[in-house]
Chain A
């Protein structure tokens, strides 16, 4: 991976690498589509928070990371896990509560953990990911790694956000704070509950470099992430990235999102990150047929994952393996 100044990596990288990232974004989109359908069929239980529309953020950010780097995600975290490398078979099985799930069905949609792929966890409490990544950065500093926190606009009003930005800056930790600003905290517009109305500006008070990024543009996210990761590696400490994006669905399965003005939804749907990425790939000279091939392969991959998960056994409540404590 190129870790030179922003821009360098983009210019020298083959379009094939972006085609692969496009495939990963598509995998996340298809995953979320399946989630919605499986939920309606009663196969996904409780609740689930879909990230369709926000795919460019985790894919762009994770493209700037090494496999050993740490990522802490949120309860809207299917994209975070897939982008960090979690096996789609294991992730979908987890959603279905099956024994073959990445956490053997113990965690569910909001709490996925995949240590092998550097996914510290997905956290069901708003802002929890910020502290998890800040802590992982304490270890990462020794290990020559970086840690990334993903969180939404709502988390920027939590104590976690303010305490950890200060904490990470004071200790100069190699962490990147990535806000996925989708402009709604649950059902409430971000601007109605965010004093100052400017998330990026909040970093200045803590002396953190910060950027507002087009979160629907894979290239823009990757470039910003490369710069922030480079800073973290160089010892310059934390950076805040505010990636502006939009969720295509409501907050959770019980939310039809009627509070969003139709023209606003139209505007954002026209800026679908997958549409933007596809157009850009074509512009870069990638053949339409190659893109379609990726689409078909990804579709087939997801179908296999769903079939495998549906056929997998549920965990046995009498299995008796669970222990309260590590030995």
Chain B
């Protein structure tokens, strides 16, 4: 059975709201008939009522702050900050309130909330509707960051995020919303946060990514197989906690690692990951490198944007070049 990415998100929300009365959903246009600009949440308000599903003002600061307060007082809010780029406005509450509460309170109470946002380029939305905010939050202890790569994974990770007792930043790549994939074998599968997946096995090189980067890496791996290069693909699934063990185990097998990030190479999660691989797995390493974006804002024009974002072709080319394989 196939499942569309946006339907997977919707199914996860509906199933968790059925299961747990304390789960609520609010944000800009989440209750609107169309279900938001990406049509992810239609019909959920009709099903669960306006006390549990409601639209809010365009007030990202109030939204994220209210989610924090509600979580502390016993609800399990899922909020939608429409585009990840808007997270700058929601940041204070997430970073200074939600993330620190469990520790500062001496574990009196945790903050179970999920912040869903559409992220990523390729949609011609320009510099301020195309960013991936994962790295803005990756250095904050107390936050979890999930970034699914397929419909089945989106459903399982979102269910895991909603059941998780900690604040979770949930990234939905906007170029994945219309992707269809295999539905999870068990429809109600819950994926734990903090466990990476070896999405494809191979002995020659490890390609590590998250979100749409994994889908691109899998496509690149098919291409590379034709050249006789066996690429292993590691899907991080969450950027915090970061499952370094799975990456190190893969690197121990392949001795080469390429980290692919749709974001600038300086200060990104990929460069941080390579640093950790070097720290813990230097003895296994023959090569380690990054494929990331230029140190520029994401451009608008199709020719500029397509050249800017690393896709399957760029990933395959990066491996061939490093391995000294001429393009066939």
Contact = CB atoms under 8 A, between A and B. Distances in A.
Contacts of A325: 102, 110, 142, 144, 165-166, 241
Contact of A103 (B73, B104, B142): B104
A134 to B, nearest CB: 5
Contacts of A135: 65-73, 77
B97 interface: yes
Given A125-B92, A128-B93, A167-B59, A138 B109 contact: no
Nearest to B60: A163
Contacts of A278: none
A170 B100 CA distance: 29
Interface residues of B, number: 45
A156 interface: no
B74 A163 contact: no
A256 to B, nearest CB: 29
Contact of A70 (B24, B54, B68, B73): B73
Contacts of B66: 131, 134-135, 138, 164, 167
Interface stretch (A115-123, A228-236, A240-248): A115-123
A114 B106 CA distance: 10
Interface string A287-327: 00000000000000000000000000000000000111111
Interface string A134-148: 111111101100010
A268 interface: no
Contacts of A59: none
A140 B103 contact: no
B70 A138 contact: yes
Interface string A104-116: 1011000101111
A85 interface: no
A133 B144 contact: no
A160 B73 contact: no
A102 B56 CA distance: 35
B106 A104 contact: yes
B90 to A, nearest CB: 10
Contacts, number: 149
Interface string B33-59: 000000000000000000100101101
A132 B65 contact: yes
B62 interface: yes
B106 A103 contact: yes
B101 interface: yes
Nearest to A70: B73
Contacts of B75: 138-139, 142
B249 to A, nearest CB: 22
Q: With a 10 A CB-CB cut-off, give which of A106, A120, A325 has the most chain B CB atoms.
A: A325
Contacts of A7: none
A82 interface: no
Given A106-B103, A135-B66, A138-B75, A128 B92 contact: yes
Contacts of A107: 104-106
B104 A131 contact: no
A106 B102 CA distance: 11
B103 to A, nearest CB: 6
Interface of A: 70, 72, 102-104, 106-107, 111, 113-116, 120-121, 123-125, 128, 130-140, 142-143, 147, 159-160, 163-164, 166-167, 170-171, 322-327
Interface of B: 24, 51, 54, 56-57, 59, 61-75, 77, 89, 92-93, 96-97, 100-110, 112, 141-142, 144, 165-166, 241
7 contacts: A111-B100, A135-B69, A138-B66, A138-B73, A140-B73, A166-B57, A326-B107
